[in-house]
Amino acid sequence: MSLIEMRDIQKHFGAVIALGGVSFDVQAGECHCLLGDNGAGKSTFIKTMSGVHKPSAGTMLVEGKEVVFQSPRDAMEAGIATVYQDLAMIPLMSVTRNFWMGREPVRKFGPLKLIDFETANRVTMEEMRRMGINLREPEQAVGTLSGGERQTVAIARAVHFGAKVLILDEPTSALGVRQTSNVLATIDRVRKQGIGVVFITHNVRHAMAVGNRFTVLNRGKTLGTAARGEISAEDLQDLMAGGQEMAELEGSLGGTV
Amino acid sequence: MRRPFSSLHTTGGPAMTATTDERVKSVSGFRRAMIRPELGAICGTILVFVFFVLIAGDTGMFAAQGVMNWTLVSAQFAIIAVGACLLMIAGEFDLSVGSMIGFAGTVIAIVSVQWGWPVWIAIVCAFAVALAIGALNGWLVIRTGLPSFIVTLAFLYILRGLTIWLSILTTRQTIIGGVGEAAQGDWLAWLFGGKIFGSLFVWLADANLIATYDRGARSGQPIIDGIPMLIVWAIGLMIFAHVLLTRTRFGNWIYAAGGDAQAARYVGVPVDRVKILMFMFTAFCATVFATCQVMEFGSAAADRGLLKEFEAIICVVIGGALLTGGYGSVVGAALGALIFGVVQQGLFFAGAESSLFRVFLGTILILAVIMNTFIRRMITGER
Ligand SMILES: Nc1ncnc2c1ncn2[C@@H]1O[C@H](COP(=O)(O)OP(=O)(O)OP(=O)(O)O)[C@@H](O)[C@H]1O
Ligand SMILES: [Mg+2]
């Protein structure tokens, strides 16, 4: 059974049809890559999956049961954690405060319920170390971390809070080579723990490196899903760009794209 | 809530703690203690005190009565600065604080003197009305998506206008007296206008530690007859706000709401509720200020609280808060209020031209903000 299954999801923003019937599913322990060009609807799609948008039509099933998310909180409670493309972290705040945001551990001091910073700091350090990042101190502001480290904090947070499905929206788009391979290694590690990963990217090589299945979106529709080994990087690239045009472009650029 | 496999990994804990990263410079304890949001305000406070000890050290500014004088003024600033501080950290402004002070005071006077109701009911009414207006401010900001600067600027005018109109409508004048007499023996009025620890000061005077009156009806009594409740409120509000902000979940959400509202919403923080509550808290602080002032003067006046919103914002900014939200501290705002109060009263003690107060204040504001910006960049890695 799929961890999460989306059937014929549509999303309209006024006159704009951002999604025109997209079906998609994620199995436990797999990395399902969602590819597509700018504006294809990838972000919109995963935002419906994570409760930010309500679909205009279509059904969502979590472990076989139909669900309707009213808010991101509902999705989080159903085990769907999302690391967003643009806003993963609050840079002015410390790593610990970001890590626990919305689920701060509290301890009772008489009538007061105060954040248990001792536990919060310790767990944050442990989880970051497991992801291969040594923090100077947990009170360090997230703004002082590199882009890859920020992504890792967000992923570590999702995993720690028991995510069954982890959605990553272009986690590698702003990263250099080393940081990209760190994030890809993290994805691989998370997947091996039995979590289903949805990995959004423009970059076919990044997708090929960790993906088990590949779905290509184009102008709000799926062009199809292929399993690893069934499709080559070149074919994926073509699909993403809408096939024909890309082939022509590639010719004129001498096959360098 | 944790997945079972996490225990597999954490068993290796102790050995792992030894790992260090060669790229992380070890940071000395001193540097860590120094580099904090309030550093600019701490330096400013030291500077201001040194300055006034030098130029006004022999004027009685640092004798018991002088200390009480500037402490009281600083406490007034602190009460409104605490509200402005939390609201600014939550990413919003309230420019209607000053008008709210005049409005709340007038409500108390009209209900108690004109309507003849008990003063405690008048005070409860003022708080209820103020909290409702605070909530309305917040609701409008959230609902319209307009900057709070504009929405509360509108309320700056609306409330001031209403205050004058109501005052003239009911009493034909803009000053309503007689609250002092009405408040005699009222338990809630005492909570704002009373004094505590009177006997402590009698004891101090007996021990010759503070001066006594040597003439007149009160001859022999200490010149300070207790700590005004205004100061108790200031301290209470500062402690409350500091603990709330730094130690509680709600405090974490205040930072998040101002730091990045959308990112906070994505992780389930009720940003709208946090912001509206902070508008209400600001209104609450303004009303505490107004009530103390009405009890002190025994009257309400429609022009009370003029420019208080800016003074509150200045205290908060001197204290290291970021104008755009998400960063700041209550301790800093309290020091900002102290600087403000000491400078205002100190120049008076020193016999300086009162217009110099503004020059001095402007200079401190610039210096503190430059220093704060510099420190904040070090802490948060902003570029
Ligand atoms: N809130 C919105 N209101 C109106 N239109 C929207 C909204 N969000 C997205 N769209 C539109 O929906 C389409 C899909 O956008 P989306 O952000 O999902 O693309 P994407 O595949 O994530 O692109 P990118 O690779 O650039 O991140 C775009 O045409 C966009 O303009
Ligand atoms: Mg996108």
Q: Is the CB of B5 inside 8 Å of chain A's CB atoms?
A: yes
Alpha-carbon distance of A93 to A104, in angstroms, equals: 14
The boundaries of the domain holding residue B258 are 37-377
Per-residue pLDDT, B198: 74
The arithmetic mean of pLDDT across residues A166-172, rounded, is: 88
List the domains of chain A with CATH numbers: 25-90+146-253 (3.40.50.300)
Selecting from B1, B259, B268 the residue whose C-beta is nearest the C-beta of A102 gives B268
Q: Is the CB of A116 inside 8 Å of chain B's CB atoms?
A: no
Q: Which of A9, A12, A16, A240 to mutate to test the pocket of ligand 1 (most atoms within 8 A of CB)?
A: A16
* Residue where the block lists tokens 């004798």: B63
CATH of the domain at B154: 1.10.3470
Q: Are residues B380 and A143, on separate chains, in Cβ contact within 8 Å?
A: yes
The residue whose C-alpha atom lies closest to atom 28 belonging to ligand 1 is: A39
Q: Collapsing DSSP states into helix, strand and coil, what is residue A115?
A: strand
Per-residue pLDDT, B8: 35
Read off the tokens for A202: 């423009």
If one counts the domains in chain B, the total is 1
Residue B215, pLDDT > 60, answer yes
The structure's pTM equals 0.83
Q: Is the CB of A243 inside 8 Å of chain B's CB atoms?
A: no
Task: Read off the pLDDT band of B12 (50, 70, 90).
Answer: very low
Percent helix / strand / coil, chain A, rounded to 5? 35, 30, 35
pLDDT tens digits, B233-264: 999 999 999 999 999 999 999 999 999 998 89
Decide which of B2 and B24 is more confident: B24
Name which of B324, B325, B368 is nearest B343 in CA terms. Answer: B368
Per-residue pLDDT, B26: 56
Q: List, chain by chain if needed, residues with CB within 6 Å of any ligand 1 atom.
A: A 13, 16, 18, 36, 38-44, 85
User: A39 C-alpha vs ligand 1 centroid, how far in Å?
Assistant: 5
- Any domain includes B346: yes
Name which of A134, A195, A214, A203 is nearest A175 in CA terms. Answer: A203
How many CB atoms within 10 Å of residue A140? 18
- Any domain includes B89: yes
Closest ligand, as measured to the CA of A41: 1
- Any domain includes B207: yes
Query: Rounded to the nearest 5 degrees, what angle is found at the Cα of B346, between the Cα atoms of B345 and B347?
Result: 95
Q: Which of A19, A37, A43 to mutate to test the pocket of ligand 1 (most atoms within 8 A of CB)?
A: A43
Question: What is the pLDDT of chain B when averaged over all its residues?
Answer: 86
- Any domain includes B320: yes
Alpha-carbon distance of B262 to A114, in angstroms, equals: 25
Residues, beta carbon < 5 Å, ion ligand 2: A 43
| H, E, C per residue of chain B | CCCCCHHHHHCCHHHHHCCCCCCCCCCCHHHHHHCCCCHHHHHHHHHHHHHHHHHHCCCCCCCHHHHHHHHHHHHHHHHHHHHHHHHHHCCCCCCCHHHHHHHHHHHHHHHHHHCCCCHHHHHHHHHHHHHHHHHHHHHHHHHHCCCHHHHHHHHHHHHHHHHHHHHHHHHCCCEECCHHHHCCCCHHHHHHHCEECHHHHHHHHHCCCCCECCCCCCCCCECCCCEEHHHHHHHHHHHHHHHHHHHCHHHHHHHHHHHCHHHHHHCCCCHHHHHHHHHHHHHHHHHHHHHHHHHHHCCEECCCCCCHHHHHHHHHHHCCCCCCCCCCCHHHHHHHHHHHHHHHHHHHHCCCCCHHHHHHHHHHHHHHHHHHHHHHHHHHCCC
- Determine which of A139-143, B117-121, B173-177, B210-214 has the lowest per-residue pLDDT on average: B210-214
- Any domain includes B88: yes
Chain A residues whose beta carbon lies within 8 Å of the beta carbon of residue B27? 136
pLDDT tens digits, A91-124: 889 999 999 988 899 999 888 899 999 999 999 9
Determine which helix (DSSP H) or strand (DSSP E) holds A31, and give its type and residue range: strand A31-36
User: B306 C-alpha vs ligand 2 centroid, how far in Å?
Assistant: 48
- Any domain includes B14: no
ipTM: 0.79
pLDDT tens digits, B95-146: 999 999 999 999 999 999 889 899 999 999 999 999 999 999 999 999 999 9
- Determine which of A107-121, B190-204, B209-223, B280-294 has the lowest per-residue pLDDT on average: B209-223
- Any domain includes B22: no
The arithmetic mean of pLDDT across residues B318-342, rounded, is: 92
- Any domain includes B313: yes
